[in-house]
């Protein structure tokens, strides 16, 4: 009888673990409030290859909204509540340079994870990363070098990378010691999955509209947390 009781307890425990790892999630939409500023064209004509590699004339990228004012490229991540040690994934994160634009424009990556920066432009790029905690680097990527691989070893709040050849090029990278982050898509939605039930603090970061935090309780179903951003009062 004791053995049977133990078995039942084990099954209960295992199913509890199953629920835990089936994973709760946090989803939501980032919305812009107010009159959206118009994005001016990017002046890419300093390099004719950059012009030729863009089918549509590119615009400034700091605010990309869909028809419902969903904000693209907001990095949403957990800042408190995770009590698990994560290892970086084997799979590299990839940033492409196409038409002398970084794609994606905002990236989350784990500390120690490989970042592959691709050059499909057939022109010289120069990747200049401006972290404060990690090591700054400045690497030329001639057109013959299709892939340049780097790693950031320490977690760090989003910082800029730029190109010293094409001054309009810019992207942002946030480095985390966990994989619980998400960048909002074209419609402004994000999802952070595989979360244990618990209390979390999450942050939504936008390159010009600032940061917001929220307390979110995750159970075994999807928790919901939206964010609304307004235009900054002073020009940046
Ligand atoms: Cu460049």
Chain centroid to CA 49: 28
**For residue 115, how far is its CA from the centre of ligand 1 (angstroms)?**
17
**For residue 230, how far is its CA from the centre of ligand 1 (angstroms)?**
31
Asked if residues 108 and 176 have their Cβ atoms less than 8 Å apart, the reply is yes
pLDDT at 107: 98
**For residue 170, how far is its CA from the centre of ligand 1 (angstroms)?**
9
Q: Which tokens in the block code for residue 5?
A: 């009781």
- Across the beta sheet with 156-163, the strand order is 106-110, 170-176, 156-163, 125-129, 137-141
Least Cα distance to 122 among 142, 139, 102, 138 occurs for: 142
Helix (H) / strand (E) element for 10: namely helix 2-22
Helix (H) / strand (E) element for 9: namely helix 2-22
Helix and strand numbers (H, E) in the chain are 2, 17
**For residue 152, how far is its CA from the centre of ligand 1 (angstroms)?**
21
**For residue 44, how far is its CA from the centre of ligand 1 (angstroms)?**
10
**For residue 198, how far is its CA from the centre of ligand 1 (angstroms)?**
43
**For residue 121, how far is its CA from the centre of ligand 1 (angstroms)?**
9
38 DSSP 8-state letter: P
Segments making up each domain of the chain, as ranges: 25-230
Q: Which tokens in the block code for residue 187?
A: 């419609």
**For residue 90, how far is its CA from the centre of ligand 1 (angstroms)?**
27
Q: Hey, CA dihedral for 37, 41, 44, 49, is it positive or negative?
A: positive
Helix (H) / strand (E) element for 49: namely helix 48-52
**For residue 145, how far is its CA from the centre of ligand 1 (angstroms)?**
13
| Residue-by-residue pLDDT tens, the chain, 236 positions | 455 555 445 544 544 444 445 579 999 999 999 999 999 999 999 999 999 999 999 999 999 999 999 999 999 999 999 989 999 999 999 999 999 999 999 999 999 999 999 999 999 999 999 999 999 999 999 999 999 999 999 999 999 999 999 999 999 999 999 999 999 999 999 999 999 999 999 999 999 999 999 999 999 778 999 999 998 776 55
Q: Which CATH superfamily is domain 25-230 in?
A: Cupredoxins -  blue copper proteins (2.60.40.420)
Assessment of whether the complete model's pTM goes beyond 0.85 = yes
């Amino acid at each position: 009888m004791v053995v049977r009781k133990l078995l039942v307890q084990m099954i209960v425990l295992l199913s509890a673990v199953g629920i835990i790892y089936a994973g709760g999630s946090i989803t939501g939409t980032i919305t812009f409030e107010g009159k959206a500023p118009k994005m001016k064209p990017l002046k890419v004509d300093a390099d004719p290859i950059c012009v030729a590699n863009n089918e549509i004339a590119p615009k400034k990228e700091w605010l990309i909204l869909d028809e419902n004012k969903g904000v693209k490229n907001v990095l949403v991540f957990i800042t408190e509540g995770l009590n698990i040690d994560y290892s970086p994934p084997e799979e590299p994160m990839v940033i492409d340079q196409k038409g002398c634009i970084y794609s994606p424009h905002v990236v989350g990556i784990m500390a120690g994870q490989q970042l592959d920066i691709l050059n499909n432009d057939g022109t010289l790029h120069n990747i200049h990363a401006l972290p404060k905690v990690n090591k700054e680097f400045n690497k030329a990527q001639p057109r013959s070098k299709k892939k340049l691989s780097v790693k950031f070893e320490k977690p760090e709040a989003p910082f800029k990378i730029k190109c010293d050849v094409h001054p309009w090029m810019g992207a942002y990278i946030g480095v985390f010691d966990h994989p619980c982050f998400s960048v909002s898509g074209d419609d402004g939605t994000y999802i952070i999955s595989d979360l244990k039930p618990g209390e979390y603090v999450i942050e939504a970061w936008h390159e010009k509209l600032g940061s917001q935090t929220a307390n979110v309780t995750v159970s075994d179903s999807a928790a919901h947390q939206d964010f609304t951003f307004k235009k900054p009062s002073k020009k940046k």
